[in-house]
């Protein structure tokens, strides 16, 4: 069963989440410090091999008025690079407005300490991005499924 992989790309860290094999639920799978595109691509490939990924969703942090700021433009460039480097894999951007804020709120409500929040907020944001995408695309089943 192939899965969808989602990323929340920040200035310092990138969080990742994957769907279940049916494309219904999303689970966080990790967070990495951003050290450059080559190491990020290596991590993406490791996740693709481990989880049989067929599609990548990248959170697109557009401004509230719909314009692209610095981070949105960076995510657009990364998506384009991934499309070139990962043949046969669908790579798409998904509006992620306020997902990091929502993840932060969820962790605060769960009484997670500030130190621990910093370590998990990005992967929780990736999970929210992927959950949003899965909810908006219920008819989008994974290849090979009817």
Distance CA 29, CA 12 (A): 17
Q: 54 or 138, which is more confident?
A: 54
Lowest-pLDDT choice from 9-18, 71-80, 112-121: 112-121
- Each residue of 93-135: pLDDT tens digit? 999 876 777 777 777 877 777 777 777 778 888 999 999 999 9
- What pLDDT score does 94 carry? 94
70-85 vs 37-51: helix crossing angle, rounded to 10: 60
Which residues are within 8 A (CB) of 69 and not within 5 positions of it... i.e. 6 or more apart? 61, 62, 63
- Each residue of 47-61: pLDDT tens digit? 999 999 999 999 999
- What pLDDT score does 111 carry? 75
Summarize the confidence of residues 62-67 as an average pLDDT: 84
Tally of structural domains, the chain:
1
The SS3 call for residue 109 is helix
Q: 4 or 115, which is more confident?
A: 4
Domain contains 143? no
CATH of the domain at 74: 3.30.420.140
Q: The domain containing residue 59 runs over which residues?
A: 3-136
Residue 29 burial (CB count, 10 A): 17
Domain contains 57? yes
Domain contains 90? yes
Distance CA 52, CA 75 (A): 23
Domain contains 144? no
Domain contains 131? yes
Domain contains 146? no
Q: Could you give the strand order of the β-sheet that contains 53-60, starting from the edge strand earlier in sequence?
A: 26-33, 13-19, 3-9, 53-60, 90-95
Domain contains 141? no
Query: Would the pLDDT of 141 be above 70?
Result: no
Query: Would the pLDDT of 144 be above 60?
Result: no
- What pLDDT score does 18 carry? 97
Q: Across the chain, what does the average pLDDT equal?
A: 87
Domain contains 115? yes
Nearest Cα to Cα of residue 82 among 52, 41, 48, 29? 41
pLDDT band per the 50, 70, 90 thresholds, residue 146: very low
pTM here?
0.86
């Amino acid at each position: 069963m192939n899965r969808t992989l989602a990323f929340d790309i920040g200035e310092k860290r990138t969080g990742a989440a994957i769907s279940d094999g049916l494309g219904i639920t999303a689970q966080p799978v990790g967070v990495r410090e951003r050290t450059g595109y080559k190491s990020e691509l290596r991590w993406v490939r490791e996740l693709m091999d481990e989880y049989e990924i067929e599609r990548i969703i990248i959170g697109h942090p557009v401004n509230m008025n719909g314009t692209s700021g610095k981070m949105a433009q960076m995510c657009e460039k990364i998506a384009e690079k991934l499309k070139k480097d990962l043949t046969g894999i669908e790579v798409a951007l998904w509006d992620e407005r306020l997902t990091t804020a929502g993840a932060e709120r969820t962790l605060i409500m769960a009484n997670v300490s500030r130190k621990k929040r910093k370590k998990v907020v990005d992967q929780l944001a990736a999970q929210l991005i992927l959950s949003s995408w899965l909810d908006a695309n219920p008819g989008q089943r994974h290849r090979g499924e009817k």
